[in-house]
Amino acid sequence: MRSAPTKTGAGEPRFLLVTGKGGVGKSTVALALARQASRRGQRVLLMQLHTQDRLGQLFGRADVGTDIVELAPCLFAVSVTAQEAMLEYGTMILRSKLLYRAVFENQTVSRFLKVIPGLPELLMLGKAYHHERELGPNGSHRWDLIIVDAPATGHGLYLLRIPIVITSALRVGHMVDEAKKMLALLRNPDRCRIELVTLPEEMPVSETIELATTLTDELELPLGRIFVNQLVASDLTEPERAAVVSAQRTAVGAERSVLGAALFRHERATAQHRQIEELERRFGDRLRRFPRLPVQALTLADVDRLADIIDLLEQP
């Protein structure tokens, strides 16, 4: 299996693409990564592709739209839609908004554009690529770090496949040129890393292993870290567990309930541990663990807790 070595410290890639199965907390991890880096003074752009979450709410403001907004010091966010990316990109290439509008916003054409395979996705990736290259007023990169909150597994893979399919099938045209540039970024482990998020459960774990193999072996993309989210810990030793099991046989009422809850938690932690072992066998030191937060609705403080954990984990 080809993969880039995990790096820490200076010289890290500036382009992180976060993906994983739906419902595993992908957007939360992407935000925690963005938060952690921005707290350290890096100018971070968090790009949401095809995702739907309540990022704005966390920062007590309206939903993040297609214009870049500063959520917190050094932390910027933008939501990328195919339509907006198309307009921006199209105008850039055609050098005329008027021409773009005349052609692309023609009802018949826009209907047709919707079915051109890969075009919307390519343009969304293209926008992310553009920000990676973008220079600030002082001539250095405008963004120290770009974090792309990519769609869930199925669609995420499709997204990453687009530049590869286009460059292998076509020879000329803007799409090819753009796809080539994007591929050069995506495949370069010094510039880009694909970060995966998963849960310590059987199905997400097997899907993550499958996804990692496809990413590295088939698409030849640099795999980054694997974040395991919502880990449940149980601190029961074996004699303690045995005592709880034995006590539960005679317990009644609230005591029985408390003992049951402890066993429930222990069983869950044990089941999760088996999945962690599986992930460790496959990914070794790429693995990063996030605890389950005892909250129903995520707050900024919770994101900061995860950012603290990243700080600890990534210390050299």
Partner 1 sequence: MQTLKQLVGSARILVCVGRGGVGKTTMSALLARQAAASGRRALVLTIDPARRLADALGIAALTDEPVRLADPTLPGEMWAAMLKTDEAFAAILRSRMPDEAERASLEANRFYRFFATSLAGAHELAAAERLHDLATCGRYDLVVLDTPPALHASDFLDAPKRFHDALDSAAFQWLTGGKSGGRRGIRIGIGLGLVQKTLARFTGTEFLNELTEFLSQMSALMEGFKVRAAETTALIRSEQAHFVLITAPASDAPQSVSESAEAMQSRGCRVSALIVNRMMPPVALPADNRALTALLQEAGLSDQAAAGLSERLRASASEAARFADSDEAMLRQLEERWSSTLTVDAVRAFSQEVSSLAALDVIRGTLFPERAP
Interface with partner 1, residue 294, by CB under 8 A: yes
Helix (H, G, I), strand (E, B) or coil at 12: coil
Which range binds partner 1 by CB under 8 A, 66-74, 132-140, 187-195, 239-247? 239-247
Tell whether the torsion through CA atoms of 86, 89, 159 and 278 is positive or negative. Answer: negative
Distances (CA, A) of 125 to 105, 107, 167, 275: 21, 25, 14, 32
Q: Specify the residue, 4 or 78, whose C-beta has the smaller distance to partner 1.
A: 78
Distance from the first to the final alpha carbon of the chain: 26
Residue 313 found at the interface with partner 1 (CB under 8 A):
no
Site for partner 1 in 242-271 (CB under 8 A): 242-244, 246-247, 250-251, 253-255, 257-265, 267-268, 271
Q: Which listed residue (41, 65, 173, 284) binds partner 1 by CB under 8 A?
A: 173
Stretch that binds partner 1, among 133-141, 183-191, 295-303, 306-314 (CB under 8 A): 295-303
Question: Which listed residue (7, 65, 70, 93) binds partner 1 by CB under 8 A?
Answer: 93
Cα dihedral sign for 105, 111, 117, 118?
positive
Is residue 38 at the binding interface for partner 1, with CB under 8 A as the rule? no
Among 153, 186, 194, 223, binds partner 1 (CB under 8 A): 153
The CA distance from 116 to 312, in Å, is 45
At closest approach, how far in Å is the CB of 53 from partner 1?
A: 9
Residues 61-90 that bind partner 1 (CB under 8 A): 90
The rounded distance, in Å, linking the Cα atoms of 152 and 26 is 8
Nearest to 55 by CA among 39, 84, 75: 75
For the chain, what is the radius of gyration of the CA atoms? 22
